[in-house]
Structure 1
Amino acid sequence: MTRYVLAPLLGPSDAFDPAPRGDERIHRFDILHDGHLRLGIKSALSQLRKAEGVPTGHGFELLLLATLVSLADTRINRARSSQDGWTREIGLYLPVSDPASWNPAKPILERMLRFLTGDLWTVDFRPWVGDLGRTRLQGRLMIPTFNAVSLFSGGLDSLIGAIDKLEDGTENIYFVSHKADGAISKPQNDLYDLATRNFRNRFPMRLAFPTGKVQDVFPELGGENSTRGRSFLFIALAAFAGSALGTPFPIYVPENGLISLNVPLDATRLASNSTRTTHPFYFHRWNELLTTLGIAGTVQNPYWDKTKGEMILECSRPDILKATAGLSISCAKPAHGRWEGSSEPHCGYCLPCIIRRAAFLKGAEVMADPSRYRMQDPANSDLDSTNKKGEQYRGFEYAIERLRQDPTRTRSFIYKTGPLVEDLDKIEGLEGVYSRGMEEVKAFLKGIETISSEADT
């Protein structure tokens, strides 16, 4: 099986040209332009400086690594590069100032990326060449304007997380976002501006990381839209920013407990169909990596034991939530509306949309669902379980029926997506949030039925 390897170069004088190891295809490409790093890093450094922050060397290099991960993840097509239609072999060469300090991180990185994306990763480090392109990180003494970092994706959970943290006021939060395509970035910007308008006295700031543009990365393979590596870039961006503090800091990743566990709805969804972007095991690996690199951040989910509906009910400022929730986007594929000739941002039938709809039903005493769905009324829609519009609905029906038949299987179900050996003190809480989350969905599905066209043939 071919391993596809990205080997970035630091300007035209960089002669780095690694020999292929076995069946490898190596793509060498320059990541410098006019003496500055491309891939969005120049913008990130500039934005962080506006918050009086200068990252550490490892923080800077971690963000560079994350941009390479994202590049590989989105430019190497799974179907064309793998033998099983999913698992790719991907290699990266990361230029760093001190490869020896990164070597202990190698097994951690490869393990966490394997868990996150389902691919086989090889990460190697090579010496940084020259001064060009590497920002002088040891500048004047600066004291950042923040002491905590929180992810802001533009989804409902990150919105509630931002409202709760700003209302609490005990920390100066620096929000970080990844700007994807226009279907996400504009609503994300509008949502942030509207949500923080009520907290101008707290001077909230945000780092919005642009998507780097690199052409002709294994062009014969085509792109990939599963984007499992996006959360690695997202959290790395938070660590990059927080490394400027030089003291311990939290990295908040607001996510409801049901989607965080993401228990597969049936056996066919265990691998490729079960995302792990906020799973507790993945967060432990992040904290292990940050410790190894000397970055004093701790990745944590404040809502690990809350359902999405409970987050709505318990939001500290329901008035702000009512005014802003309609701009939040939970849909797995919001850009697909363009292909379907619709301006509605939510499909209404993917797994995150179903959980969102169920959550607003749970939180109806706080607010009605303000979302615009392309499939408005699932009860009066032909939900064929053999196509995308009925697949997830049928999956939830199946999972809920399994729980009804034997509620004691909850504990075994929450172990399906990943190890929880480091969270034994939270097992009861994890069981509880899974059960309550499924009850929310069950209440929403009342009166909704799926059919199978295959059963009629």
Structure 2
Amino acid sequence: MSRHTLVMRIGADDVADPGQRLTGGFVTELPRYGSFASIDHQIGDTITQLQSMGLRPSERALDLAVLAAAITAADTRISRDSDAQDGWTRQIELCVPVSDSRVWTDAGLLIERTLNFLTGDIWFITFRERAVSVQTLIPASTGTLTEKPQSVCLFSGGLDSFIGAIDLLSGGERILLVSHYWDRVASKHQKLCLDALKEHFGEGTFESVRAYVGFPKGAVADSHDEDTLRGRSFLFFSLAALAADAIGEGTVIHVPENGLISLNVPLDPLRLGALSTRTTHPYYMARFNELLRSVGLTSRLENRYRHRTKGQMVAECADAAFLRAAAANTMSCSSPAKMRFDQDEQRRQAKNCGHCVPCLIRRAALLHGFGADDTEYQLEYLGAKALDSTRATGEHVRSFQFAIAQLAARPQRARFDIHKPGPLTDHPGDWGAYEQVYRDGIGEVAALLNGVVSRPGGG
């Protein structure tokens, strides 16, 4: 196991001792950011895009975005395989300059606890004052908006975020959509979805910010790259908080995510730890909101679909006809950048694979909401032949079938299963609703997999 310390520096005069707490590990100095332009570029030119609308966030909100960028560097460029004793849990320290180190140091334990839950690693966060030359980084806004957005909505290019935008726009709410992307596939689908929304609701009915945030391969010394990306929602939430802070006090950040995925109850015993993501889990979102309050940022995350399945989101969408016509533009796959092959082993464009956990939930949702499986996958009907449970096409089908069988045999287990991925202590009055969304979500997938056979070797 290797420990890693990443030191971020802003300004030519940032030469202070970073306050390192971990010893005996590797230390990486991330590329120095000498000015506002360089740090804004690292967070996807988000502030420049906001400024063009006449929106200017605070230095405190920028601190959060800078912290999120450092987290992204560590999460994506420190290998679990080579640097974790158990093949998963890494020890990572970040040394970050901020505009008010006292405020951020007071929040340090909360940040570490939040990240430990989110990524499954052990984090150490050390803050220090920014250098004198960069005490104030954000220049005055350059543009104007005739009408400010009322709220922020996360916009990933997936089906849930597309429905979230449709519902808000159909209700007459003026929104600012915030996106970030890791690859060209995600970027392509975000653009397709944004163009569809503009064509349907009209130019000027919403604003959007899109940010590419990433670090080059090999950015962390003595390690290899990592593709599990468990910390990605900290970056997503932080960019949204930056935008919300620029809009004004108390701005709501909508996080459109169905309750089944948000809870992410493990389908089988093997999925409890490393394979379970917690990107929108209620406990994590509660901690992030607590973090915002603790550093004096007044925006808050809100998931209005936390008690709805994906299928219910589809069925209850405020503009079902538009959703049905445009749903193929969205990307829900867990591995969208992987190249797919058809039955003749001919390469075709990367798109929803149709057989990972998010894709199966998506197909079940469209079956529930529209009465038909999603034909965009260009795959055989799931029940056409027995699937090989040892291969990608059948592995997650088999996991779902295990969960379906377990729940059918003992329906009462749902009230206990919903607590396995993480605490629900922040929402004691919602336990019944979370139990119901878990039952309903598994039921939707059961309807999709009715008659489907998966076994080792297929057939």
Shared fold (TM-score, shorter chain, > 0.5): yes
Q: Separation in 1 of the partners of 2:59 and 2:11?
A: 19
Instruction: Tell me the number of residue pairs that the alignment of Structure 1 and Structure 2 aligns.
Output: 452
> Could you say which residue in structure 2 is the equivalent of 1:30?
31
SS in structure 1 at match of 2:427:
helix
Matched, 1:173 2:153: no
SS in structure 2 at match of 1:93:
strand
Q: Separation in 1 of the partners of 2:331 and 2:225?
A: 24
Evaluate the alpha carbon distance shift between residue 142 and residue 289 of structure 1 in structure 2; reply closer, same or farther with a 3 A threshold: farther
- Is the CA contact (8 Å cut-off) linking 1:48 and 1:241 kept in structure 2? yes
> Could you say which residue in structure 2 is the equivalent of 1:450?
454
Q: Separation in 2 of the partners of 1:164 and 1:85?
A: 42
- Is the CA contact (8 Å cut-off) linking 1:166 and 1:202 kept in structure 2? no
Matched, 1:408 2:412: yes
> Could you say which residue in structure 2 is the equivalent of 1:356?
362
> Could you say which residue in structure 2 is the equivalent of 1:149?
152
Q: Separation in 1 of the partners of 2:255 and 2:76?
A: 22
Matched, 1:380 2:384: yes
Q: Separation in 2 of the partners of 1:256 and 1:134?
A: 39
Q: Separation in 1 of the partners of 2:16 and 2:289?
A: 32
The Cα of 1:73 is off from its aligned counterpart by: 0.6
AA aligned opposite 1:151: L
The Cα of 1:192 is off from its aligned counterpart by: 1.1
The Cα of 1:377 is off from its aligned counterpart by: 2.6
> Could you say which residue in structure 2 is the equivalent of 1:5?
5
Evaluate the alpha carbon distance shift between residue 416 and residue 35 of structure 1 in structure 2; reply closer, same or farther with a 3 A threshold: closer
Evaluate the alpha carbon distance shift between residue 138 and residue 131 of structure 1 in structure 2; reply closer, same or farther with a 3 A threshold: farther
1:209-224 alignment runs, 5 A limit? 209-214=211-216, 216-224=218-226
> Could you say which residue in structure 1 is the equivalent of 2:76?
74
AA aligned opposite 1:30: P
SS in structure 2 at match of 1:224:
coil
* Candidates 380, 390, 396, aligned match of 1:392: 396
> Could you say which residue in structure 1 is the equivalent of 2:310?
308
> Could you say which residue in structure 2 is the equivalent of 1:321?
323
- Is the CA contact (8 Å cut-off) linking 2:28 and 2:221 kept in structure 1? no
Structure 1 residue runs of 5 or longer lacking an equivalent are none
Q: Separation in 2 of the partners of 1:96 and 1:142?
A: 28
The Cα of 1:167 is off from its aligned counterpart by: 0.6
- Is the CA contact (8 Å cut-off) linking 1:20 and 1:26 kept in structure 2? no
Q: Separation in 1 of the partners of 2:212 and 2:16?
A: 27
- Is the CA contact (8 Å cut-off) linking 1:44 and 1:208 kept in structure 2? yes
SS in structure 2 at match of 1:302:
coil
Q: Separation in 2 of the partners of 1:8 and 1:435?
A: 45
> Could you say which residue in structure 2 is the equivalent of 1:85?
87
AA aligned opposite 2:5: V
- Is the CA contact (8 Å cut-off) linking 1:96 and 1:126 kept in structure 2? yes
The Cα of 1:33 is off from its aligned counterpart by: 5.4
Q: Separation in 2 of the partners of 1:104 and 1:197?
A: 47
Residues 17-26 or 326-335, more deviating: 17-26
SS in structure 1 at match of 2:377:
coil
AA aligned opposite 1:330: S
Deviations 1:315-338 (Å, cap 9, x if unpaired)?
A: 001122122100100000011126
Deviations 1:321-367 (Å, cap 9, x if unpaired)?
A: 122100100000011126883314011110001101111111124x7
Q: Separation in 1 of the partners of 2:369 and 2:407?
A: 23
Aligned-residue Cα RMSD (Å) equals 2.3
1:231-310 alignment runs, 5 A limit? 231-310=233-312
The Cα of 1:217 is off from its aligned counterpart by: 2.1
> Could you say which residue in structure 2 is the equivalent of 1:115?
117
Q: TM-score, normalised by structure 2?
A: 0.93
The Cα of 1:98 is off from its aligned counterpart by: 1.2
Evaluate the alpha carbon distance shift between residue 141 and residue 175 of structure 1 in structure 2; reply closer, same or farther with a 3 A threshold: closer
SS in structure 1 at match of 2:107:
helix
- Is the CA contact (8 Å cut-off) linking 2:149 and 2:175 kept in structure 1? yes
Matched, 1:158 2:161: yes
Q: Separation in 1 of the partners of 2:36 and 2:98?
A: 17
Evaluate the alpha carbon distance shift between residue 252 and residue 42 of structure 1 in structure 2; reply closer, same or farther with a 3 A threshold: closer
The Cα of 1:215 is off from its aligned counterpart by: 5.3
- Is the CA contact (8 Å cut-off) linking 1:12 and 1:30 kept in structure 2? no
SS in structure 2 at match of 1:37:
helix
AA aligned opposite 1:58: R
- Is the CA contact (8 Å cut-off) linking 2:27 and 2:221 kept in structure 1? no
AA aligned opposite 1:56: S
- Is the CA contact (8 Å cut-off) linking 1:326 and 1:370 kept in structure 2? no
AA aligned opposite 1:399: A
AA aligned opposite 2:24: D
Identity over aligned pairs, percent: 39
The Cα of 1:23 is off from its aligned counterpart by: 2.1
Q: Separation in 1 of the partners of 2:163 and 2:141?
A: 36
The Cα of 1:138 is off from its aligned counterpart by: 6.6
Deviations 1:404-456 (Å, cap 9, x if unpaired)?
A: 111011100100100011111111111111001111000111111111249x9
AA aligned opposite 1:166: L
Q: Separation in 1 of the partners of 2:86 and 2:78?
A: 14
* Candidates 364, 369, 376, aligned match of 2:374: 369
AA aligned opposite 1:369: D
The Cα of 1:173 is off from its aligned counterpart by: 0.7
